[in-house]
Amino acid sequence: MQSLPDDLVAPVVVVAFDGWVDAAGASSAATEHLASGGTLVATFEDDTLFDYRSRRPTLDIIDGTLHKLIWPAIELHRRSIDGRDVLVLHGPEPDFRWKELGGELSAFCLRAGVMQWVSLGAIPAAVPHTRPVPVLATASRDGLLHELDTKGPPGLLRVPSAALSAVELPVSEAGVPAVGFYAQVPHYVGGPYTAASVSLLRHLSRHLGVEIPLTELEDEADAQRARLDAAVAADDDVRELLERMEQNDDEELPTGDELAAEIERFLRDQS
């Protein structure tokens, strides 16, 4: 890691990794947008972090000559937004050394005087694309979230962990307050879903009290919405499924298993 800047102003770390808990690439796209134009502060690209057979480096070949390898790397960019420093940690989800990376990030946050850690993620859910993107929130302690944030789900939820959570926990245990925002992406979206990225960044903007420019992403989300509308209109079964999801709260919605089965049938037909 490079030496830390000595002029950080109330820094907050915003984190997303591609792969697990990144449905439709929504959270990694959000951090890429946030990091755009920022200054590179640190890079994690050690051979011990990645399995290159599952996440191969990119090879540039120019006029038949091997020119350059671009290795997978997790990067930390610094951006100043409304006078506040936002440190954006983003890149591929590491394959190895999660515990070690969590410890290193904890030490980094303490040295840098990080005020808060914010995880961004995206999960598939039984939600229609015709409604605002729901976002679930987590917090390491009470009082960190805005009253409009939806914390949940209630009770015990035991799921396979992402590296994102595996590094957040030791950071919060070291004393850095941590929150997470997780956009819910419609099951039937097979490609990028910019509306979820926009929703995540809107929640982040409100949470930090800063203004994040979103016009470009909002235009892209509108274009995707139009394409999804056209695709749904062309399939009677999917249109019926969408209408069921749009029913009022007092009517019974399809179960997750029903939705998964119907969406898998639709995807098989498309392929």
- What is the pLDDT at residue 261? 57
- What is the pLDDT at residue 270? 52
- What is the pLDDT at residue 263? 53
Q: Which two tokens stand for residue 85?
A: 């420093």
Write out the chain's pLDDT in tens, 271 residues. Answer: 555 677 888 899 999 999 899 999 999 999 999 999 999 998 887 789 999 999 999 999 999 999 999 999 999 999 999 989 999 999 999 999 999 999 999 999 999 999 999 999 999 998 999 999 999 999 999 999 998 888 877 888 888 899 999 999 999 999 999 999 999 999 888 889 999 999 999 999 999 999 999 999 999 999 999 998 998 888 888 888 888 888 743 355 455 555 555 555 555 665 5
- Residue 47: name the closest of 69, 29, 28 by CA: 69
Q: Is 31 in contact with 76 (CB distance < 8 Å)?
A: no
**Is 245 within the bounds of a domain?**
no
| Range(s) of the domain holding residue 201 | 12-214
Q: Is 110 in contact with 177 (CB distance < 8 Å)?
A: no
Our count of domains for the chain comes to: 1
Q: Is 223 in contact with 195 (CB distance < 8 Å)?
A: no
- Residue 117: name the closest of 49, 21, 208 by CA: 208
- What is the pLDDT at residue 247? 76
- What is the pLDDT at residue 143? 93
- What is the pLDDT at residue 224? 94
**Is 101 within the bounds of a domain?**
yes
**Is 266 within the bounds of a domain?**
no
- By DSSP bridging, strand 74-81 and strand 65-70 are unpaired
CATH number, domain containing residue 43 = 3.40.50.10900
Could you give phi then psi for residue 135, rounded to 5 degrees?
-130, 125
**Is 185 within the bounds of a domain?**
yes
- What is the pLDDT at residue 2? 53
- What is the pLDDT at residue 250? 35
- What is the pLDDT at residue 126? 86
**Is 234 within the bounds of a domain?**
no
- Residue 235: name the closest of 189, 265, 266 by CA: 266
**Is 168 within the bounds of a domain?**
yes
End-to-end Cα distance, the chain = 45
Distance of CA 177 to the CA centre of its chain: 19
Q: Is 14 in contact with 89 (CB distance < 8 Å)?
A: yes
**Is 204 within the bounds of a domain?**
yes
Q: Which residues pair with 123 in a beta bridge?
A: 184
**Is 205 within the bounds of a domain?**
yes
